[in-house]
Amino acid sequence: RTRLSLNQEQLRDICLGLFYKDLKDQKAFALTGEEKVQAASHESPSSVHHVPSSPRLTKSYF
């Protein structure tokens, strides 16, 4: 399960990385997963209602 968890963490980082690759603000790469999602909700009004504000709920999406 340790390897699986590590792979899931890497997969989450890859998904978030691909998502933020198209953003103009490259500073988002320096943020953690939860901070990235919160930043995305502020930068993209359309994602505010789709992205949960709770870090615990956010992790379940990845």
Q: What is the pLDDT of residue 9?
A: 79
Quick check: 56 pLDDT over 60? no
pTM of the model: 0.24
Task: Read off the pLDDT of residues 2-55 as tens digits, 9 standing for 90 and up.
Answer: 555 557 777 887 777 766 665 655 555 556 566 666 666 655 455 444 454 555
The boundaries of the domain holding residue 56 are: 2-61
Q: What is the pLDDT of residue 32?
A: 59
Cα distances (Å, whole numbers) of residue 4 to 10, 11, 54, 60: 10, 10, 24, 15
Cα distances (Å, whole numbers) of residue 62 to 13, 24, 55: 9, 23, 11
| Number of domains forming the structure of the chain | 1
